[in-house]
Amino acid sequence: MKQPTNTPNHFEHLLDQHHLKKTAPRLKVLSMMADKETATSQPDLESLMNDVDRVTLYRILNVFEEKGIIHKVFDLNGTANYAICTSNCQEHRHHDEHLHFNCTQCNNVYCLNDLNLPAFDLPPGFKVNGFTLYATGLCPDCSKKQN
């Protein structure tokens, strides 16, 4: 019986699991990022969380990333974007090894979790810990509008 992964209940569970207090700002951050195919940029998060202090937001994002609840991707402009981890990420052990597609038009960063990536080799001496394929171009929405 599969558990729902995007309900307020699940969020509280998530915080419990990682020994984090269930606070309003934290639950709000999680609900903001839930049910989205795309990552959310730091500026967007900041304006969505208008009643919460900027510093608090940064601290929440940092602790969520450390715990493996969310992961960070930088877009073409160097802006941080955040998305909830779907895979089995743990504290200091992320495995978000999916394709990140950054649309050059709308600037959205897509987490294409379902796509399986090809294997690759490295020159001797390099010890790989994690990887991601990063692609740029036009997303489906912007691709349509182009015509």
Give the binding site for DNA (CB under 7 A).
20-26, 42-43, 46, 51-56, 58-60, 62-63, 78-80
Tokens of 91: 């504290």
119 binds its own copies per the rule CB under 8 A = yes
111 binds Mn ion per the rule CB under 5 A = yes
Q: 9 vs 62, which CB is nearer to its own copies?
A: 62
Beta-ladder partners of 70: 84
**Three-state secondary structure call for residue 104:** coil
Report d(CA 71, CA 59) in Å as an integer: 14
**Contact flags string 16-55 toward its own copies, x per CB under 8 A:** ----------------------------------------
Which window, 25-33, 43-51, 63-71, 132-140, contacts its own copies (CB under 8 A)?
132-140
Candidates 83, 84, 103, 139; binder of Mn ion (CB under 5 A) is 83
How far is Cα of residue 26 from the mean position of the Cα atoms in its chain?
15
Q: Give the contacts of 48 (CB within 8 A, at least 6 positions apart).
A: 32, 40
